[in-house]
Amino acid sequence: MILIADSGATKTDWRFIDKDGNISSFSTAGLSPLFWTSKEMANEINKKFPKEIKSKVKSRWLSGQKSKVFFYGTSCSSMERIKIVKIALKKVFPKSNTIINHDILASARALLGNKTGIACILGTGSNSCYYNGKKITEIKGGLTYILGDEGSGAHIGIAFIKAFLNNELPDKIHTTFIKKYRLTKDKIFDAVYNKKYPNRYLASFAKFVHENMDDPFLHNLVRNCFAEFFEKTICKYANYQQVPVGFVGSIASNFGDILHAVAKEKGVSINKIINSPIDELVKYHLPLP
């Protein structure tokens, strides 16, 4: 039996595959070691973990058979951060063999399988890598929402909120936004500088942008964010115009038409856009060990 998790900044998708190949799904909050302690992660998993799945895993332990847990997570890019996640998983799955990797590897495996290419994440945050079909050989991006994350939900949200606070939004969009959110400068500052998960808060405004994409100002705002992502990441790979490029994440999926347009301008061939890598990861890790 195996358990696969793909954890972004906002949400973690889980898939449990039992010994008969039956697949069960559930989700928890995003479990980033940048923002969560091992104890907080373990509590969140225990709280959301379905009882029927837990009983199956427990019976496996009691029979002396180890289960495998494949965890792909945002910010799992150093031994220190991986250790935080590993301690959490061992609290919940003490007898299992836990394998922890960066979420960019999940994207590469989901988008490219065993083929060479460039894999990109455009969700709450952003990242990219060059994948040779077996392993990641180069990473560009992934500097988090303060220093980078170009093209991400957080980046789009920052660009939108800056335009709002600087009174640069078209009158219709400004009025619609005020009526919907009732936000003030002080409320925004409090959420960004004093509360937890400011990246999620900023990325949440990408939904409003998506709902109003018929407005030329917002269309151009998203286009500029994507163009910056290409310039800062994809266009810096030596042969970016000769290999397939894939995207995973809600932002890539929701704004796919603009993404394709920017890619065409840059001479990039997009081979696949998927909302989440989790189901492709199930295919990658099957057949069962």
274 CB-near residues (< 8 Å, 6+ apart): 110, 111, 246, 247, 248, 253, 280
Half-sphere exposure of 233 (CA within 13 A, CB side): 30
What pLDDT band is residue 287 in, cutting at 50, 70 and 90? low
Residue 221, pLDDT score? 98
| Mean pLDDT of all residues in 147-163 | 94
Q: Are 256 and 85 in contact (CB under 8 A)?
A: no
Q: Could you say which architecture CATH assigns to the domain 2-106+278-285?
A: 2-Layer Sandwich (3.30)
For residue 105 the two structure tokens come to 């590897």
With 0.75 as the threshold, say if the pTM is over it.
yes
Burial class (CB in 10 A: 0-12, 13-18, 19+), 160: buried
| Cross-strand bridge partners of residue 272 | 246
Question: Domains of the chain: which residue ranges?
Answer: 2-106+278-285
Residue 166, pLDDT score? 97
What pLDDT band is residue 131 in, cutting at 50, 70 and 90? very high
Q: What is the rounded CA–CA span in Å between residue 13 and residue 137?
A: 26
Residue 3, pLDDT score? 87
Helix (H), strand (E) at residue 159: helix 153-165
| Mean pLDDT of all residues in 177-186 | 94
Half-sphere exposure of 52 (CA within 13 A, CB side): 8
What pLDDT band is residue 65 in, cutting at 50, 70 and 90? low
Burial class (CB in 10 A: 0-12, 13-18, 19+), 56: middle
- Please spell the DSSP secondary structure of 234-275, one letter per residue: GGGSTTTTTS-EEEESHHHHHTHHHHHHHHHHTT--EEEEES
Maximum distance among all alpha carbons in the chain?
A: 66
Per-residue pLDDT at 266 exceeds 90: yes
Per-residue pLDDT at 64 exceeds 80: no
